[in-house]
Each structure stands twice: as C-alpha cells, then as structure tokens.
Structure 1
Amino acid sequence: YFYDRSSTGSFPAEKMNLTNCSYNKRNIENKLLPALYTVTFIMGFVGNAWGLKLLLQKWQKLGNINVFVLNLGLANVLYLFTVPFLMVYYFSGRKWIFGDVFCKMTRFCFNVNLYCSIGFLTCISVYRYLAIVHPLRMMGRLTVTHSVLISVLVWLLVSVQSMPDIFFPKRFKDKAQCFHSTSLEKTEDYLTYSLVWTTTGFCIPLLVTLGCYGHVTFVLCRRNTIEKTLRQKCVKFLFILILLFSVCYIPYHVFRNLSLFSRIQSKQNICVWWDKHVFTGHQISRGLVCLNSALNPLVYLQMSEHILTHIRQLPQQVCKIFHYMSVCSRNSVAVSQIEDI
C-alpha cells in the first residue's frame, strides 16, 4: 500500500512526524522480498532435496531423533513448493493471479512450515535433554514408534493452530493482492489471534528449548564421563538453534505483532514515529523467516553421521571421476612436484 497518513485526519502533536507517516511501502516489498524468496527457493530446494535423499537412503539406520529431522525436511519441502508463486506475486508488483483458495493455501503452508520447524526442533532438544541428563531412565523408552507418534501430534497441533488464519480475509475483491496477515478491517481480531499464536507456537517452545539446552550445557560442564564427540554435537546443534531463533524466528514474531499494532494505530488516525521502522523491520523479518527452509538442512549435517561421512568422501569421489586417485593419495610434496611439471 501507499500510505500518506498526514492526510487522513488530525494527529496528536507529540506523535506526528510527516516524514515517518508518509512513505511508499511497495518499494520495500517489491524489491526485498522477491530477492529473499529467490535465494530461499534455490538454497532450500537443493539443501532439502539432497538431505532428504541421503536420509531415505539410510532409512534402516534412522534413529529416534532422525525421525524428527525427516519431518523437518518434509515441512520445508511443503513450503518450498509455494515459494515460486510468491516470487511471481512480488516480481509482478503484488498482483495475485492464482485465486483466493490458493492464496490462503500458500499462507497456510508457510505457517505450517514455520511452526512445524519450531516444533520439531523443540522435540530434538527434548530428546537430547532426556538422553544426556536422564540416560538410565530413558533407556529403551525413546523408541522410533514414539518419535513417529510425536511427529504426527506435532503436525496435527500445528495444523489446528494455523487453521483460524484461513478464515481471515486474504484478498480484496477489487484488488489482485494476497495479504500476509489480513485486511485492515480485521486487524484487531488478527492481532489477538497473533498474540495467542505467538505464545503457544513460539514462546512456549522457545522456553522449553532454552530450558533443555541450558540444563544440558550445565550437565556437560560438570560430567567428564560424557564423550567428546557428544559434547561437540551438542555445541554444534546449540549454535544452529541460536542461529535459527535469532535470525529467523524471534525478529519475525516481534515485528509481526508490532506491525499489526501499528496498523490499528493508523485506523485511529494516530501516527507513531516508529511506524516506518516497524514496517521495514517486518518486511525484512518476513524474508528472513523464509530462510529457515534454507538453513534447516544444517540440522541434517549435524544430526546425521552418515551425511558427514558422505561429505568427507566427496573429495575421493571427485578424484575417481577425474581419474586422479593416484594424485589424491600422494602427499603434498608429490602434489607440488606434479604441479611444477
């Protein structure tokens, strides 16, 4: 939209700032989001396809946690199939040509991917916590069957949680647009829903994850009997979680709710000085949260030893392809001699 709130009525003098209240929002959306969607689609499709392929090849060796990793990849793929339509939408200047039903399905797939990703990452954290902090109690109890049942429960809860979003208006009849949230008339109701959604779908899983890994870190520091490789795994996965939550999830939820509150203020002819900054931050966070589909394959690399082994074997495979096995097996001195020749 193009907003010029200085012409909609009188504002409180202490809140009015014409520079921040009059700006073209399309420039941000039509330039930033298409670029981020393109990067997300390319990186996410390649990374998830490759990771899922290797997981399925080793299906017999899948452990409890890898069931969650597999579902994490399926959630990413579900969303990535809708990204090309969003790319077309924003590249064409926010003109949605795929119908109202598919507009809502596209937004629904985004929400399911987002909160399933958070849910499965939380499940991985809980399983890691139980296996490290309570290994004797959990011995024989963390089965693949339990992992599958929990995964089904996550899909169901996220779907139910995301379902109300479908019933909010996503389009104007006279305009070919597909709203990320809803129309201006329903903003108050959507903010209430968004706050509940943020609490149940993001804040609670975040607190559970922080609690689990906080305790795991404490245990790892106190116990010297835990293997070094397990310590390294936990540190790496903790780094991935920090990356995903700090880059993708936290900014999106903060700016989504602030943006909705700002829209309510605009309906009341109130121009707050931070409106433009919130809108810009919201658009950037929308692009960054989509990157979770491109960053989640990092979980494959960290959780699956056979994938890491596959990566280590890549140089040997390249050598076989180019028939340079004899060169690759020599030491660095021999290699330098060959290069000199």
Structure 2
Amino acid sequence: MSLPPSTPNSSLPTPSDPGSGCQLDESYKHIFLPICYLFTFLLSLGLNSVVLMRCLRHPRNPSLVYMFNLALSDLMYSFSLPFLIASYISRDQWLFGDPMCRLVRFLFYFNLYCSIFFLTCISYHRYRGICHPMRTMRVETLRWVRATCVLVWILVFTLMTPILFFARTGPLDGPGDTVTCWDDALDEDLPRYVPYGVFLHIAGFFLPFSITAWCYSRVVRTLWRTLKKGALPGPIPGVTQRRKSIRTIVTITLLFTLCFFPFHITRTIFLAMRAGGAALGGCRALEVVAVCYKVTRPLASANAFLNALLYFLTKEPCGRGGNRGKKEEQVPKQEGKKSQLKENQLWGNIYPSFP
C-alpha cells in the first residue's frame, strides 16, 4: 500500500496505519518561529562579531582559541537564519532550491554540535587548569589547543555529512506545485534516518554532556575546597577569579541544559513516534510531542548568541585582575611577586584576558 503525500509540518503518516495520516495543526509556528529566529539572528550577528573582532585584536591564549572557534561556528549559522525566517513567513514554502535547503539544515546541526563539542573542550580545559594546574601549564600549549579545534571541526563535519543526503525539498500540501524544506527526513527515509539520529544524540550530545557535567562537578568541588576558610594556609591565590569561576560554571551549565537538553529529548521522542506511529500513542500524542519539538528548536538555535555570554562572563582582565587581587588578598611583598606571576600565568591560560 502506498503512503499518502505528506509534509513534515502538516501531515505525518503513521506506518502502523498507512492508509491514513495525522493532520497536525502547526499554524502557530508561522508567527512564533520567525520572531524567535529573527531575534536569534540579530543577537548572534552582533555579539559574535564583537567576540571575533576582539579575539583577533588581542594576544591568543587557549581560552581565546576555543572562544574564537565557538563564535565563528555561531556566526556561520546566523547567516542561514534569514532563509528559515522567509520560509516560515511564506507558510512553509521553500523558494531557494534544494541545495540551499540541504545547506540550511546542515548548518543548524553543524553549529549545534560544534557548540556542544567546543563547550566540552572548554569544560575539560578548565577542569585541567583548576584541578591539575601545574600539569596543564607544562602540557597544554597553543599548538595543542589549535589542533584540538581542527579535530573538532573535522569530526563534526564528518558526523553531519549524512544530513546533506537526508535533508531535501518535498511536496507541500496546498495549491500548485509548491515545495517545503524537510526538517529531518522524508518518511521513506525514516528506517535509515532514525538509527543515525539516535547515534547522533548519544555521540553528539549525551556523551559530551556527561563529560561536561563530570568536569564541572570536579571543578566546583576543587574551588569550594580552596575557598573554605582555613582550607589553605595563608592567603588564597586567585580568590576573586575562583569565585567568578563558580558563578560562570553554574551559568554555563544552565545555558547548556536550556539549549541542548530539551531539544534532544523531544527530538528523540518525536523521531520514535514518527517511526512507530499510532502504536506509540496515536495522533494526539504525536501532536503534543511535535509542538514541544518545534518549541525547543528555537531554544537550540539560541545557543548561537547565548554562547557569546561566555566571552562577557569570563573576560576577567588577568593582568589588571592580578593587581586587584594583590590588593584584596594582601599577598606578602617578598613572596607576592613570584606567586602572583605564576598565578597570573595560570589564570591567564584559563580565562581570556580582555580590556
């Protein structure tokens, strides 16, 4: 039996009942999504341009290298948003051809997983810098960090390549021969796409998220111990930066969870229900999950400008911060110069130094 024509936005046939389809009312997204994507486009374009320009103007350190690559990925994605905005305003009509459809969908997932992997690299970098500082100063060089960034770009590109084959234009229900740009895959491609999507969620999100959570839990524990009164003899070096570290880590974790976790959970359920059909809850359940999935997509896209907050939250000027810390912590003059020099070098590797 042949499946009836469908679009990813209005009609999703259920494999368990191939003679009928689930008619989903998604008219809300023609207003909600363009507003969200326009907001994301403007903020991402402005904030990431500032981050890139400042990263290029100042001396490089490991944090700056990661931040530069993160901002570059976000800026690349922001250039694809006007095409999506135009498509949703046109009520899902795609006017830009099949190659651009594939590129726009590719850039969304490419940016999403570049962000996740670079945030994981930053998390591991801070874990090593705070929990194993001396070893990090000896081992982690700019060349090593740059090689890691190149590896991330290659790895994410390799993981995202199938998107260029699955994403494509398809018929749109309505008058004429109008087409839409499919969000994930055509229904006939689902048997191949679902295993790939599940693998992508595990390798691209849940594994990096677990690493990030473990790194930050160790960092918070180490910082908390050093900040406890009497934990270390004498004044605590870098106390101002360490307090700021805890606030930054909490903020990054919340942003990470807000942008990526809801999207991957709802998308996993959505793909499973598209593949399983009525056997997994029927059309009503599919409609609820589809709404949740569409709402979490703008949250995932918001990482394109929320990542820039890392720049503003961690731009503690280490050179001047060291002088302020010297006053605040009253490091003895005889030992202050050497210890402060080492401390500034260490924290300069962990935090970018900006004016």
1:245 aligns to what?
A: 256
Displacement, 1:301?
A: 0.7
SS of 1:145's equivalent in the other structure is helix
Displacement, 1:175?
A: 4.2
2:45 aligns to what?
A: 45
User: TM-score when scaled to structure 1?
Assistant: 0.80
Moved more, 255-264 or 155-164: 255-264
Displacement, 1:22?
A: 5.0
More RCO (CA 8 Å, sep 6+): 1
Is the aligned partner of 1:281 residue 2:282?
A: no
Instruction: Call closer, same or farther: CA 1:142–1:233 in 2, change over 3 Å.
Output: farther
**For structure 2, which runs of at least 5 residues remain unmatched after alignment?**
1-8, 172-176, 228-235, 321-355
Letter in 2 for 1:52: L
Is the aligned partner of 1:260 residue 2:271?
A: yes
Moved more, 296-305 or 146-155: 296-305
TM-superposition CA deviations, 1:116-155 (whole Å, max 9, x none): 1111111111111111111122223211111110000000
- From 162, 165, 185, the equivalent of 2:163 is 165
2:25 aligns to what?
A: 24
- From 212, 221, 226, the equivalent of 2:224 is 221
The answer to whether the 8 A contact 2:223-2:246 is kept is no
The answer to whether the 8 A contact 1:33-1:287 is kept is yes
Is the aligned partner of 1:301 residue 2:302?
A: no
User: TM-score when scaled to structure 2?
Assistant: 0.77
Instruction: Please tell me the root mean square deviation across aligned C-alpha atoms, in Å.
Output: 2.6
Letter in 2 for 1:246: T
Is the aligned partner of 1:190 residue 2:198?
A: no
- From 197, 200, 205, the equivalent of 1:202 is 205
1:69 aligns to what?
A: 67
Displacement, 1:160?
A: 0.2
1:144 aligns to what?
A: 142
Displacement, 1:82?
A: 0.6
TM-superposition CA deviations, 1:65-105 (whole Å, max 9, x none): 11000000000011001111111111111111111111111
Displacement, 1:266?
A: 2.8
Letter in 2 for 1:35: I
The answer to whether the 8 A contact 2:167-2:181 is kept is no
Letter in 2 for 1:164: P
**For structure 1, which runs of at least 5 residues remain unmatched after alignment?**
12-20, 310-341
2:113 aligns to what?
A: 115
Instruction: Call closer, same or farther: CA 1:167–1:268 in 2, change over 3 Å.
Output: farther
SS of 1:223's equivalent in the other structure is helix
Instruction: Count matched residues.
Output: 296
C-alpha separation in 2, matches of 1:10 and 1:92: 29
**For residues 311-330 of structure 1, what are the structure 2 equivalents within 5 Å?**
none
Instruction: Call closer, same or farther: CA 1:306–1:57 in 2, change over 3 Å.
Output: farther
Displacement, 1:304?
A: 2.5
C-alpha separation in 1, matches of 2:17 and 2:61: 62
The answer to whether the 8 A contact 1:129-1:213 is kept is yes
Displacement, 1:9?
A: 5.5
Identity %: 31
Is the aligned partner of 1:33 residue 2:44?
A: no
Displacement, 1:213?
A: 0.6
C-alpha separation in 2, matches of 1:218 and 1:179: 45
The answer to whether the 8 A contact 1:79-1:109 is kept is yes
Displacement, 1:5?
A: 7.5
C-alpha separation in 1, matches of 2:284 and 2:170: 28
C-alpha separation in 1, matches of 2:24 and 2:140: 55
Moved more, 188-197 or 173-182: 173-182
SS of 2:181's equivalent in the other structure is coil
